Amino acid sequence: MRILLDEQLNWRLTRAFGELHEVRSVRGMGWTGKKNGDPLSVASSGFDVMVTMDKHIEHQQNLPQYDIAVILLLGLSNRLEDTEGFVPKVERLLLEGVEPGRLYRVAR
């Protein structure tokens, strides 16, 4: 599965995922500073899932129009120490299956 980490997440979080997934970051792709929605548009063509902490994404975007699933991490901060604990839950969710155009919430 191809996973994109939104720009507010630390790019080093890519290392926490197992070998089953190809994980890249918005920063690593050179897409930082894009306007809201642009990363979703661009990512839809090359990624299966976008992981974000943007709690407003479902109200700012029409997610069903994108060919990508969105996983929203519901955590206290976007620090690497705080987000690494989400990875096992995200991987479990991915194994269960996610659908493009849907939002999935993951809490610690």
Give 41-65 pLDDT, tens digit per residue.
888 989 999 999 999 999 999 999 9
3-state SS string for the chain: CEEEECCCCCHHHHHHCCCCCEEEEHHHHCCCCCCCCHHHHHHHCCCCEEEECCCCHHHHCCHHHCCCEEEEEECCCCCHHHHHHHHHHHHHHHHHCCCCCCEEEEEC
User: 0.85 exceeded by the pTM?
Assistant: yes
pLDDT along the chain (108 residues), means of 10: 95 92 92 71 91 93 94 96 96 96 95
